[in-house]
Amino acid sequence: MLAGKRVLLIIGGGIAAYKSLDLIRRLRERGVKVRAVMTAGAQEFITPLAVGALTADHVFTDLFDRQDEQDVGHIRLARDTDLVLIAPATADRMAQMAQGLAGDLAGAVLLATKAPVLLAPAMNPAMWAHAATRRNHATLQGDGLHFIGPNRGEMAERGEAGEGRMAEPLEIVAAVEALFSAGPLQGKHVLVTSGPTHEPIDPVRYIANRSSGAQGTAVAAALRDLGARVSFVTGPATVPPPSGVTVIRVETAREMLAAVEAALPADAAVMAAAVADWRVENAGAQKMKKDGSGRAPALNFAENPDILATVSKSANRPQLVVGFAAETETVVEHATAKRLRKGCDWIVANDVSPATGIMGGSENAVTLISETGAEAWPRMGKDEVARRLAARIAEVLS
């Protein structure tokens, strides 16, 4: 798929720059022609000599280089490529891009290119979570740029961990392959929710369900493979999110609703999350303890927001809204009523009673409910369910 493609790699100034060396090797193994631009910061971590040895090409470093710019080299670099890849993409680089600054060679190339742009962010978790970075991220997404990562993990700073690690080279390669796939959903934005929600009882305990997030994760990956830009809003699932999608992590139903509304507009929404119907209204600020009376504390419940119904009736309603119904009895009847009640286009219904082993398992047996009736699918792996559903979505959107 990648043989003969041209990728311009912009290496930013972060400790994750060392991963770019392996990334170059992985891309070239697949027949990619890689040219590299190194920022001044990148050269503090790795050398142009190492990068040039791996790309087997000249390494570009200076906007005002007399030799490189004698034929307006930054414009040539910007145009003579199929993809611009920024890895690592630092917080500073994202801020410059959001403002349209072109004070160095990388900035000038990014303003001049007409090729797709893929960023692999890498920074301290506090920097990634900062409001300014979140605004810049949203701005760049709105401009049509693509993201892979960041991942969660240990940081270079001793004792620091969280979301901010650059995606691994093979994950970035997979995202590059997805961009070049030019599938039927190319240019479409699809919102996917996945996983359970955790509703606090106190700072230690919470109400949850047995959803692993496997089906929603598989749906997001299948849509990505068809070329869609996927916003993946996930609760605390037990399976990792797929690469090549924009991941928004939440805990509670109310957080999920806010993330979903922020991700709109979208061409389609697939609401696969197992959202808790109720939350504890009087959740304790401190851990609840036994008082020796033998009586359990009284918990007052409040109804959580209905995310599926909210999206279905939103002013930003996607063209296609797909809900999920996990039932333990009279599955088709309950799911059919749910579709009408929520106002969505389709419901993917399944039987999650304990005997089926579906909730938390690797297989699923679903019935697709639409205005034309109920279509039962045979039991199959969740990945295959996802591919079939993604193909149906592509038929509608394309």
Residue in 209, 282, 316, 364 annotated catalytic:
209
Q: Does the annotation flag 369 for ligand binding?
A: no
Q: Which of 76, 85, 160, 63 is nearest to 112 (CA)?
A: 76
Q: Does the annotation flag 342 for ligand binding?
A: yes
By three-state DSSP, how is residue 238 classified?
Answer: coil
Q: Does the annotation flag 382 for ligand binding?
A: no
Q: Does the annotation flag 22 for ligand binding?
A: no
If you count them, how many residues does the chain have?
Answer: 398
- Say how far apart CA 32 and CA 3 lie, in whole Å: 5
Is residue 88 within 8 Å of 17, Cβ to Cβ? yes
Q: Does the annotation flag 389 for ligand binding?
A: no
Q: Which of 206, 343, 358 is nearest to 278 (CA)?
A: 206
Residue 55: its H or E element = helix 48-55
Calculate the alpha carbon distances from 373 to 320, 331, 340 in Å: 17, 13, 12
> What one-character-per-residue DSSP string does 247-315 give?
EEE--SHHHHHHHHHHH---SEEEE--B--SEEETT--SS-----SSSPPPP--EEEPP-HHHHHHT-T
* Residue 146 structure tokens: 């693509």
Q: Does the annotation flag 71 for ligand binding?
A: no
**Catalytic: 151?**
no
Amino acid at 252: T
By three-state DSSP, how is residue 129 classified?
Answer: helix
- Say how far apart CA 59 and CA 50 lie, in whole Å: 10
Is residue 27 within 8 Å of 1, Cβ to Cβ? no
CA 379 to chain centre: 27
Paired with 327 in beta bridges are 351
Residue 356: its H or E element = none
Paired with 110 in beta bridges are none
- Say how far apart CA 248 and CA 193 lie, in whole Å: 9
Q: Does the annotation flag 287 for ligand binding?
A: yes
Q: Does the annotation flag 291 for ligand binding?
A: no
Q: Does the annotation flag 188 for ligand binding?
A: no
Binding-site residue positions for CTP: 277, 287, 305-308, 324, 338, 342
Query: Which residues are annotated as catalytic?
Result: 209
Binding-site residue positions: 277, 287, 305-308, 324, 338, 342
